Structure 1
Amino acid sequence: MNRDTDKTYNCIIVEDEPLSQEILESYLQDCPQLKLKAICNDALEANQIFLKESVDLLFLDINMPKMNGIEWLKSLDQSPKVIFTTAYPEYAVEGFDLNALDYLLKPFSFERFLRSVNKFLSLQDKVDAKSENQEETILVKSNKKTYLLKPSELNYIESEGDYLKLQREDDCLVIHDTLKNFQTKLPPKEFLRIHRSFIINLSKIDFLEGNQVCIAKQMVPIANSYKDQLMQLIQK
């Protein structure tokens, strides 16, 4: 596969040991396709980065103060690809149950680190090629009908009890699902959760006014906890 060497992916290090931070940072200096956005000492610090930055890859320690890496990963609505870095092999099974890309057992060599990075890059090549060639459809059932829904058709998604309203240009499909689950089916760089009850299509934004965003003449609320991340994305 021909790899686009000009394309870069954002990553962060979540690690409480200074020596491990230094080793990972030095290894990343020899991986030009990965752009290190932050080094975080714990999961709570990393959580703040997620509100401001788009992150494609996590190098995540497990045994950390305040909250361990696995607990934090489970708390995310939608997580990026994850490479666990830990000194405790007993966590490996649980890590892979969370669809971790790889599991690096400390101390690990640059060669072993690079194998993990290449696994990530190969996977992204396939994802990027697929998204360029065609848009994936989502199978949804609404009002006794089955629809092949293209994500690009959506303006926003609203949660209401046990149901979701999928707002399109000319109609609204009502389906039985959760916002958290439906978000996993959407292209992460095109859709953003901006409220506990709303996910929006970033390309459909008309304007922002206060704590609201206008999409197709409809005003959608923005929760304060999501506003920094929204502003970061639309300014890129």
Structure 2
Amino acid sequence: MSRLRVVVAEDEALSSKRLVRLLQEAGCDVVATFAEGGGLAQWLRRPQDVDALFLDIHMPNLDGLAILRSVEGRIPAVLTTAFPEHAVEAFDSEATDYLLKPITASRLERALKRIEARKGSEVHALAAPAPHHGPLRYPVQAGEGVVLVDLAKTTHFEVENEVVYAHAGARMRTQWTSLGEVEAAFPMAGMLRIHRHLLVRPEAVIGLRPSSGGRAIIRLAGGGELEASRGGAPRLRERLGL
């Protein structure tokens, strides 16, 4: 695992000290720590060379969820809290991971691997060659072999238990294990994450209506519907020019 540069925002001194120690023992560089959200928000207004944020959900001035939404996916963020009931809200806000206190070294290692996987997929996408002019296709499982599916016939991809499924008239198992790998395979396709586990092809969206809590229900070619998260809905509207 390469050395990650991370930031910790935690208002409890003992929890902050413990998390910093665990991160350093895991080989990370803790480049900054904050005891409240306002200082971190101000710090993030300037360009920063940082690989991930570790955010306590409950902090003075600005909480971890607000910080997470403000970075809009530009920096992977891991939310930390002592309250398990916040898990759904954390993932709905597209957190990279969610850690319950007291944080253990083994659970932290899993979170760091998620960050590394995302970082690797982004580097791969930047290094990917220019797309060819023929049809973009990908393999899906078919019995003991594979068949090739056109990306243009695909509405979206979803990940479940580290297996990516493609939706192109049917739900089909691919050879990918993360949505980052799909994005890296088609860097110029302009696909959009509308939820932590959903990657949609904007051209397949034929309708959109608001849902509760700032979310949105999107209608896909072929009649299917998906829910975009509070973070994904604004990005989708912007992409669609709405």
Tell me the TM-score normalized by structure 1: 0.52
Contact 1:85 1:103 in 2 (8 A): yes
Question: 1:152 corresponds to which residue?
Answer: none
Question: 1:95 corresponds to which residue?
Answer: 90
> What is the CA deviation profile of residues 100-155 of structure 1, one whole-angstrom value per residue up to 9, with x for unaligned ones?
1111111121111111111211232222223223363265xxxxxxxxxxxxxxxx
Offset, 1:73: 2.2
**Equivalent residue runs for 1:69-108 within 5 Å:** 69-108=64-103
**Matching of residue 115 in structure 1 with residue 110 in structure 2:** yes
Question: 2:122 corresponds to which residue?
Answer: 127
The partner residue of 1:59 within 54, 57, 69 is 54
Helix, strand or coil for the counterpart of 1:112?
helix
Q: CA RMSD in A?
A: 2.6
Question: 2:44 corresponds to which residue?
Answer: 50
Q: Where does the alignment leave 5 or more consecutive residues of structure 2 unmatched?
A: 131-186, 191-233
Cα distance in 1, alignment partners of residues 95 and 73 from structure 2: 13
Cα distance in 2, alignment partners of residues 50 and 22 from structure 1: 21
Cα distance in 1, alignment partners of residues 117 and 82 from structure 2: 26
Cα distance in 1, alignment partners of residues 125 and 71 from structure 2: 25
Helix, strand or coil for the counterpart of 2:95?
coil
Helix, strand or coil for the counterpart of 2:25?
coil
Contact 2:68 2:95 in 1 (8 A): no
Offset, 1:12: 0.4
In structure 1, give the amino acid aligned to 2:188: T
Helix, strand or coil for the counterpart of 1:26?
helix
Contact 1:58 1:83 in 2 (8 A): yes
Structure 1 residues 75, 122: CA separation in 2 closer, same or farther (over 3 Å shift)?
Answer: closer
In structure 2, give the amino acid aligned to 1:35: D
Number of residue pairs matched by the alignment? 139
> What is the CA deviation profile of residues 76-98 of structure 1, one whole-angstrom value per residue up to 9, with x for unaligned ones?
45541111110011111010001
Cα distance in 1, alignment partners of residues 41 and 82 from structure 2: 23
Question: 2:30 corresponds to which residue?
Answer: 36
4+ runs deviating over 4 angstroms: none
Cα distance in 2, alignment partners of residues 19 and 45 from structure 1: 19
Helix, strand or coil for the counterpart of 1:63?
coil
Offset, 1:49: 1.9
Cα distance in 2, alignment partners of residues 115 and 18 from structure 1: 24
Cα distance in 1, alignment partners of residues 118 and 72 from structure 2: 21
Offset, 1:46: 0.6
Cα distance in 1, alignment partners of residues 129 and 8 from structure 2: 33
In structure 2, give the amino acid aligned to 1:16: D
In structure 2, give the amino acid aligned to 1:19: L
Cα distance in 1, alignment partners of residues 115 and 62 from structure 2: 26
Cα distance in 1, alignment partners of residues 105 and 4 from structure 2: 19
Contact 1:61 1:85 in 2 (8 A): yes
Q: Where does the alignment leave 5 or more consecutive residues of structure 1 unmatched?
A: 140-179, 186-236
**Matching of residue 27 in structure 1 with residue 78 in structure 2:** no
Contact 2:57 2:80 in 1 (8 A): yes
